[in-house]
Amino acid sequence: GIGVLYAAALATHPRPEFPSQWMMVMSALAVTALIVGTFASKVRQDADTLNFQALHDSLTGLANRALFLNRVDCALRRAEGREEQVAVLFLDIDDFKMVNDSLGHPTGDQLLTAFARSLDSLTRDGDILARLGGDEFAVLLESGPMPQTAEDVAVRIAKMLDTPFQLGDTEVTVGVSIGISVAPRSQGTCEGLLRESDLAMYLAKQNGKGRFETILPG
């Protein structure tokens, strides 16, 4: 502030002989303060950008695996002793490799981005949506009766996919296999919940794709 600049000016020129000296010193210090402040702001912005990039998928902007696992772990701790259970939906686009091979990787990336946007439009406030890698996505739910709430979301996703994605001049229709796992009311772990949702997704693949399977706590 002005007080700091004034004190700095006194320290620099304790006995100024001319008012112009004050003006020169104050101007120089003001420019220095502006440069330092701008640099500090840029450093903070760069740090925020790096932090965002470390926790989000670069293609879709969704949470990445690391952030999703953190959110699941936090949700499980919050759920201890509560009636509501935590559930995870593990999604894998059916035959995505065929889209990539036949239409090319740029179109495949467009499909992933469009799919992410559509999923985001279906989620509620408080739900966490992530891209885990490749064509694998996940949704964390921690409110509502389970497994009904999670299965309702899976049905809405299937209905959403009835409409083809318009990717430039190409229409692409895909299905998705979904695995649902519900955490036990106590002693649930992030790793266990993700592992069971992944297993449920593979069961959906084996049972015909374009469907969901649910694994309830034992």
The residue among 12 and 28 whose pLDDT is bigger is: 28
Q: Hey, what amino acid is at 36?
A: V
pLDDT interval class at 9 (50, 70, 90): low
What is the overall mean pLDDT for the chain? Answer: 87
The residue among 85 and 53 whose pLDDT is bigger is: 85
Question: Nearest Cα to 193, choosing from 114, 59, 85, 35?
Answer: 85
In this prediction, residue 84 carries a pLDDT of 81
* Conformation bin of residue 19: beta by default, left when phi > 0, alpha when psi is -120 to 50: alpha
Residue 141 makes CB contacts below 8 A (sequence gap 6+) with: 86, 87, 88, 89, 127, 149, 150, 153
Helix (H), strand (E) at residue 195: helix 190-206
Residue 56 makes CB contacts below 8 A (sequence gap 6+) with: 62, 63, 64, 67
In this prediction, residue 218 carries a pLDDT of 74
Residue 17 has pLDDT above 70, yes or no: no
Laid out side by side, the sheet with 87-93 consists of 128-133, 136-141, 87-93, 176-182, 212-215
- Report whether 73 contacts 190 (CB < 8 A): yes
In this prediction, residue 43 carries a pLDDT of 62
Catalytic residue check, 127: no
For 172-217, write each residue's pLDDT tens digit: 999 999 999 999 887 789 999 999 999 999 999 999 999 999 999 9
Catalytic residue among 92, 94, 135, 198: 135
Question: CA–CA distance from 119 to each of 28, 74, 115, 124, 128 (Å)?
Answer: 54, 22, 6, 10, 11
Residue 203 makes CB contacts below 8 A (sequence gap 6+) with: 179, 213
Task: Report helix, strand or coil for 110.
Answer: helix
Give the total residue count for the chain: 218
For 139-154, write each residue's pLDDT tens digit: 999 999 999 999 999 9
The two three-digit tokens of residue 118, written as one number = 């559509």
